[in-house]
Chain A
Amino acid sequence: MNSASRTALTAFVVCSALLAAGCGSSGGSSASSPTGNVQFWTIQDPTNTVQQAQVDAFNSAGTGKVSMSVIAVDGFKDKVRTGMGSSQMPGIFFNWGGGSLDDYVKAGKLVSLDPAVFRSHFLPAALEAGTVDGKLVGIPARGTQPVFLFYDKKVFADAGVQPPKTWADLTRLVQVFTAKGITPFALAGSATSSWTELMWIEYLVDRLAGPELFKKIAAGDWSQWNDPAILKTAQMVKQLVDSGAFGKNFASVNYGAGGSSTLLAKGRAAMQLMGSWEYAMQQGADPNFAKNDLGYVAFPSVDGGLGNPADVVGNPTNYLSVTTAAAKTTAVDFLKTTWSDSYVQGLVAKGEVPVTDNAQAALAKAPDPAYAEFQYNLVQSAPSFTQSWDQALGLSLGTPLLTEIQKLFNGQSSPQQFVSGVLAIKH
């Protein structure tokens, strides 16, 4: 096969995927009756059994039928994206809220839900990312996943220090641990894991400027990247990197077992800034460490910053959205089961921390009640829960942003170049 036809084949594959995505855009099956069958696409994970029970209970009640399809994590977003343009459009689908729904809302694919029906049942911070362009389009359906600091209790005890409460504590700890030859923070900085670097930026900007700055950016005002807090954040990151806070090798470390999480578990790193799923990751990789030595604490305050130190960032939760292909009454009725006691208790038993108002009572039955309550309290008392920026901005802005952040951490861009690089993303 010569190179022209090989490239042509590649082009064909790309093109046929494009055509498959586009061909049915006019053929979306519009719902004629308010009740009926609803196709429900969800992602494969340990809570699928809980969801199946939820679906079975709903179907036996008889206001219509929901059929659930479980789709593997890899390719889930692509599959939804392809399905959304076609006659195979799902009626309800699992998603990440915020910017991940932006394109669908603009294309008129989603049903706007009545906030009055849902508002009282969820923590306010969790509903926020389900609202796009002022329309409520996503209903929380999973646990919350805030980001906070994990630390190795044994390493801290050996060094005779306490986890950081302020930024000054944190910089002092960097000195303490680098002097002992321990990497202060495990950081996964490979191109695949650069979202872990984003967490530092998110927290620093929130602590320095408060949540309003990113809200304006997410709402479309890209010039807000000119805010001095952004440059200050980039400078603080550079100082951290230069002082050896992340060690030398982070640029090719991946997140997870065998990567940054193992560095923490083996005592080669003292802390890691990560989402709440780190606990489950450690449990799978090193159960003894997770049980005995894994500590967790909120991100420290930054002196002189405008943000409230109680603010959190992360994934408020995952959402279910209803498309125009669904039988609307059936779909909305089904969404009302997301705060049923049986569903909430099912999630808790799987280690999730649901964001419903009745979750707190169920948390005592969690596999690790102390950890579940720590998360619930963190989220409940947070004045603001900023959604992960890459999710909030959507892929087309989030992907190049992650690249710029990587360059900053790798020292390929100066703080000033980082700001101008990010500003250049949106033409």
Chain B
Amino acid sequence: MASLIAGRTARRQQARPVAPTLERPGAGWAVPGLLFFAVFALAPMVGVLYLSLTSWDGLSAPQFTGLANWSRFLTDGQVLQATAVTGALLVGNILVQAPVSILLGVWSAGRQRNRAVLSAVFFLPLLLSTAATAVMWQQLLDPNFGLPAHLTWLFGNANPLGSQSGAVACLVLVTSWQFVPFHSLLYQGATRAIPETLYQAAAIDGAGRVRQFFHITLPQLRNTMITSTTFMVVGGLTAFDIVLLLTNGGPGTDTTILPFLMYQTAFRTYDFGYASAIAGFLLLLATGASVLLTRLSGYDRMTGTLEGL
């Protein structure tokens, strides 16, 4: 171990003389990125905020209405429900996907041949588009001609997409089915990057497999968990396609999440002003979630898990 550390330090010392010659890059390098951000992110955001203060049907010129959309927004029961459903989907997705994908990812990180073959099978859903996934599951979940009609021992007389809890559960399961492979892939890569020496040392100290998993693997995966959770939160807040295609917000308005409500308001009822208010709220929500996640997790400090090795 000592010689290993010495070897690493030696390499670091070799590298050091190069570092001071690297100056911080000039501000000019940020221009393309800033320009892109300004044109494709800032300008539309300002546009949305302006439109949220207007009444606009997309045909005639926008009429400035002040805060009318926002006061309607605050008293709209539909928005409240959509926010709650969005939250439920978000939490459900994380609770289902995170444990499954960690276990699957760690398991598939092993180099055994059978694991390699099975992993390839598990990753198949990742190759399907959301549209194909939604159409397939809609057929499978059809109460008259799908699985529920044939597997009455499992479903009883239930109609999975016909109730709010059932439809939300279906959305969580279908999303998980589609995205667990992606998150597993993240964890697989991260697990393979954990130095073997840690496990060897733990084995010498007498730690069993379970203990190794909880005291070495999980802590080493911390940054990956943050990345993966961030993806899930972002995906959850913008998961619009699966709702549109699988439930179309129904039954009734039971699975109408915020992005779907925004779409419906803008492109089905042509109320672009109010839709912009919803978009503005989504923007706030997503930014808030993003800031909170990076603060809580210490991701912004970018500490590596290999420190001290």
Contacts and interface: CB of A to CB of B under 8 A. Distances in A.
Interface string A1-20: 11111111111101110110
Contacts of B61: 22, 25
Given A7-B282, A191-B247, A191-B252, A249 B271 contact: no
A369 to B, nearest CB: 34
B40 A12 contact: yes
A188 to B, nearest CB: 11
Given A190-B250, A258-B145, A14 B275 contact: yes
Given A18-B272, A191-B249, A253-B143, A2 B290 contact: yes
Contacts of B264: 399
Nearest to B283: A7
A396 B283 contact: no
Interface residues of A, number: 56
B128 interface: no
B159 interface: yes
A3 B237 contact: yes
Interface in A1-53: 1-12, 14-16, 18-19, 21-22, 25
A104 interface: yes
A2 B230 contact: yes
Interface string A68-99: 00000000001001101100000000000000
A252 B251 contact: yes
A106 B58 CA distance: 13
B136 interface: no
B252 A3 contact: no
A339 to B, nearest CB: 31
A262 B139 CA distance: 13
Contact of A249 (B159, B254, B283): B159
A406 interface: yes
B172 interface: no
Interface string A366-384: 0000000000000000000
B270 A395 contact: yes
A21 B57 CA distance: 10
A268 interface: yes
A357 to B, nearest CB: 35
A410 B251 contact: yes
A154 interface: no
Contacts of B190: none
Given A2-B230, A25-B59, A412 B47 contact: no
B41 interface: yes
A11 B283 contact: yes
Given A190-B250, A251-B251, A9 B41 contact: yes
Interface of B: 37, 40-45, 47-48, 51, 56-62, 72, 138-139, 141-145, 157, 159-163, 167, 230, 233-234, 237-238, 247-254, 259, 262, 264, 266-272, 275-276, 279, 282-283, 286-287, 289-290
Counting from the closest, the 9 A-B pairs by CB-CB distance are: A191-B250, A12-B44, A249-B143, A252-B161, A191-B248, A8-B41, A251-B162, A15-B44, A7-B286
6 contacts: A5-B37, A10-B282, A11-B282, A78-B267, A399-B269, A412-B252
Given A103-B57, A399-B268, 18 more contacts: A1-B234, A2-B234, A3-B230, A3-B237, A3-B289, A3-B290, A4-B287, A8-B44, A18-B47, A21-B58, A22-B58, A22-B61, A25-B60, A82-B58, A107-B60, A189-B251, A248-B159, A406-B251
